[in-house]
Amino acid sequence: MKSRHFTVQPLSEGVSATIATPGGAAVSNSAVVDVGDATLVFDTMLTPRAAEDLATAALELTGRRPTLAANSHWHLDHILGNSVFSSLPIYATRRTREILLEKRVELEGELKPEALARDVSEIERQLKAGDPGVSAELLALNRALLEDAANLRLTPPTRVFESKFRLPSQRRVELVSWGSGHTESDSVLFLPDEGILYAGDLVLAGVHPSTGSGDPEHWLTVLDEIDRLHPERIVPGHGPVSSGAVVGEMREYLTTVLRVASAPDPHEMPAKYATWGFRESFEQSIRFVRSRPTPR
C-alpha cells in the first residue's frame, strides 16, 4: 500500500517495519508482525489517521487488521494511534500505563486544539528567527497533531507486564523491558528467531534522542542488554532500519551528552550530529543532565 505517512519495509516472512516519512503524520516507526494466529502492531504512531493507514498495511501484509497492539513507551508519537485500536488488547509495561494515567489531564490539556495552534505558531515564529531551540521536525510533528486535533483521544494501554512478556503465539515474540532509559520505563519487541529488534526510542538512527524523561546512565546499561541479544537488524524508533552497530552510535551519543554536560562551558554540538533530526534535543539533554539534583 501507499501511505503519505510511512513506507512499509518487509524484514522477514510476516514481519515488517513501517518507517515514518518526513513531514507525515506517523513521525515514529512501527512494527507489523504476523505472530501466527494474530497480528501485532508495536507502537501506533502520532495520529489516528496515520494509525488507520497502519491498520490497512497490516491487513495487506498479514491478511487481517491488527488484533494486538503494544507500546514501547508513553511518548505521544508512539501511542496516540492507540485510539484506532481501542477494542484490542494493548500491551505496555506497568509503569508506562501508570505514567499515562498520571499525566492524562496534563497531556489532554496539551492536545486541545487551541493549545496545539499556539504551539504551532510559536514554533513557526522561533524557526523564522533562527532559534536553534526548535527544528523543522518539531514543527512538522506539531502541525500533524493540529491537523488531527479533533480526533486525538489519549488511550492508555490495557494489558501490562513487568520485565518480559512472551506472546502465546507460534512465532517467538517477546516484549522486554530493562526499566528506565529514554523514559522511566521502555520496552523493545524482540523476535529471537529472526534476530530482529524493534527498539522504540532506546535506539534512534540519525535523529537526536530526547533524554529529559529518562535516565541517561541507566540507558547505557540498557544498551548493553540490547547488545547481549545480538540483534542482526534494529528498527529504531526514528530513522532507517539499521544493523546492530547502531547501538554503538547511540552509546557514543549518550556518552557525549554526559561528557559535555559535566564539562565547563562553552560547548558545541559535535559536527557529526549537525545533520540529525530534532536538533533541539541536544541542548535540552545538556540542560536536563545539569539540572538533576544529585550528580552521579
Query: Which residues of this protein are in contact with Zn ion, per CB under 5 A?
Result: 75, 201
* Closer of 194 and 201 to Zn ion (Cβ): 201
Q: Is the bond preceding 295 in cis, omega lying within 30 degrees of 0?
A: no
CA 153/CA 224 separation, integer angstroms: 36
CB of residue 183 vs Zn ion: minimum separation in angstroms? 7
CB of residue 72 vs Zn ion: minimum separation in angstroms? 8
* Closer of 35 and 80 to Zn ion (Cβ): 80
CB of residue 238 vs Zn ion: minimum separation in angstroms? 8
3-state secondary structure 149-203: HHHCCCCCCCEEECCEEECCCCCCCEEEECCCCCCCCCEEEEECCCCEEECHHHC
* Closer of 38 and 188 to Zn ion (Cβ): 188
Contact 204/72 with Cβ under 8 angstroms? no
Cell numbers representing residue 176 in the block: 522486554
* Closer of 20 and 38 to Zn ion (Cβ): 20
Angle at Cα 118 formed by Cα 77 and Cα 108, nearest 5°? 50
CB of residue 111 vs Zn ion: minimum separation in angstroms? 16
CB of residue 201 vs Zn ion: minimum separation in angstroms? 4
Exposure of 257 in the CB half-sphere (CA atoms within 13 A)? 28
* Closer of 194 and 278 to Zn ion (Cβ): 278
Return the number of other C-beta atoms located less than 10 Å from residue 264's C-beta: 5
Angle at Cα 221 formed by Cα 238 and Cα 193, nearest 5°? 65
CB of residue 58 vs Zn ion: minimum separation in angstroms? 22
Contact 22/137 with Cβ under 8 angstroms? yes
* Closer of 75 and 279 to Zn ion (Cβ): 75
